[in-house]
Amino acid sequence: MRSHRFLEHTADALLQAEGDSLAELLVACAEGMFAVIVEDDEIREQTAVEIAVTADADLQAEGEAACVEDLVHSWLRELLYSCSAQGLVFARFDVREATPSRFRALCHGEPLDPARHRGTEVKAVTYHGFKVERRPGGWLAEVLFDI
């Protein structure tokens, strides 16, 4: 099971996401970020784009924890880039590959339509307070989005 919720924060959006698996955690993080960008959750599935990210090779040598943190951060940055540079927002993510060092998913969505999509611009995925933890029965992440 995956889920996301927002924790109280004074100026930015603080996301807490959970998943039974690493794949579910990454999808929950993406769903949470797009819940900020498009509040009404009215994203149509008009296009599909495959997005793949790999954890930094130096961090892979440091172990799973560093590698997974980098993977989650890279995934969200890549999705934010697709939104900012290509004007795409996503509603569904079909996971193709999920390891601690690589994640690949087919992302379904549509072009951002300011007339229809109400929400808040996410400027950056920050490292402030960023954490990813393996817990009994699953994964937990906390991500602060600069809005």
User: What pLDDT digit, counting tens, does each position of 39-67 carry?
Assistant: 866 899 999 999 999 987 665 556 565 68
The phi and psi torsions of 22 (rounded to 5 degrees) equal: -60, -40
Task: Flag residues of the chain having pLDDT under 50.
Answer: none
Q: What is the pLDDT of residue 125?
A: 97
Left, alpha or beta for 103 (phi > 0: left; psi -120 to 50: alpha)? beta
Q: What is the pLDDT of residue 7?
A: 79
Q: What is the pLDDT of residue 16?
A: 97
**pTM given for the model:** 0.91
What residues contact residue 57 under an 8 Å CB cut-off, 6+ apart? none
pLDDT in tens, 91-100: 999 999 999 9
- The full set of domains in the chain, from first to last, is 2-146 (3.55.10.10)
Q: What is the DSSP letter of 67?
A: H
